[in-house]
Amino acid sequence: MREIVVFHLGQCGNRVAENFWEYICDEHCLNTQGQFVGQHYLPLQRINVYFDESPCCNFVPRAIFADLEPSTLNYLRCSQYGCLFSPESFITGKTSAGNNWARGYHTEGAELLDQLEDCTRRMVEGCDCLQGFQLVHSIGGGTGSGLGTLLLETLKDHYPSKITNTFSVIPSPKVSEVVVEPYNSVFALSSMIRSSDETFCLDNEALYDICAKTLRLPVPDLDDLNHLIASAMAGITCSFRYPGQLNSDLRKLLTNMVPYRRLHFFVPGIAPLCGRDSECYRQTTVPELVYQLFSSSNLMAACDPLAGTFLTAAAIFRGRLSTRTVEEHMSGVRLKNQLSFSGFIPNNVKSAICDVPPRGMKMAATFIANTTSITQLFRRITGQFGTMYRQRAFLHWYTGEGMDEGEFTEMENKLSELVEEYDGYREEGPAKETVEDDVEE
Ligand SMILES: Nc1nc2c(ncn2[C@@H]2O[C@H](COP(=O)(O)OP(=O)(O)OP(=O)(O)O)[C@@H](O)[C@H]2O)c(=O)[nH]1
Ligand SMILES: [Mg+2]
For atom 12 of ligand 1, the residue with the nearest CA is 141
pTM of the model: 0.95
C-beta of 146 in contact with ligand 1 (< 6 A): no
Query: How much is the ipTM here?
Result: 0.99
C-alpha span between 222 and 185 (Å, rounded): 19
For atom 6 of ligand 1, the residue with the nearest CA is 12
Q: Which residues of the chain have pLDDT under 50?
A: 431-441
146 alpha carbon – ligand 1 mean position (Å):
12
C-alpha span between 332 and 309 (Å, rounded): 17
pLDDT tens digits for range 370-383: 999 999 999 999 99
Nearest ligand to residue 142 Cα: 1
430 alpha carbon – ligand 1 mean position (Å):
40
User: For ligand 1, what atom is nearest to the CA of residue 98?
Assistant: 24
C-beta of 142 in contact with ligand 1 (< 6 A): yes
DSSP 27: H
138 alpha carbon – ligand 2 mean position (Å):
10
pLDDT tens digits for range 203-248: 999 999 999 999 989 999 999 999 999 999 999 999 999 988 788 8
Work out the burial of residue 403: count CB atoms within 10 Å of its CB; fewer than 13 is exposed, 13-18 middle, 19 or more buried: buried
Amino acid at residue number 70: P
C-beta of 68 in contact with ligand 1 (< 6 A): yes
C-beta of 232 in contact with ligand 1 (< 6 A): no
C-beta of 143 in contact with ligand 1 (< 6 A): yes
For atom 29 of ligand 1, the residue with the nearest CA is 176
Residue of 69, 76, 138, 225 to mutate, ligand 1, most atoms within 8 A of C-beta: 138
Work out the burial of residue 84: count CB atoms within 10 Å of its CB; fewer than 13 is exposed, 13-18 middle, 19 or more buried: buried
DSSP 30-65: B-TTS-B--SSSHHHHTGGGTEEEPTTS-EEE-EEE
**Strand ranges in 87-210 using DSSP code E only, listed in sequence order:** 90-92, 129-138, 163-170, 198-203
Nearest ligand to residue 104 Cα: 1
Q: How many CB atoms lie within 10 A of CB 69?
A: 18
Residue 55: the pLDDT is: 87
| Domains of the chain, CATH where assigned | 3-265 (3.40.50.1440), 286-373 (3.30.1330.20), 375-428 (1.10.287.600)
Residue 235: the pLDDT is: 95
C-beta of 138 in contact with ligand 1 (< 6 A): yes
C-beta of 171 in contact with ligand 1 (< 6 A): yes
pLDDT tens digits for range 307-366: 899 999 999 999 999 999 999 999 888 777 667 888 888 888 999 999 999 988 889 999
The sign one gets for the Cα dihedral 18, 24, 30, 35 is: negative
Work out the burial of residue 81: count CB atoms within 10 Å of its CB; fewer than 13 is exposed, 13-18 middle, 19 or more buried: buried
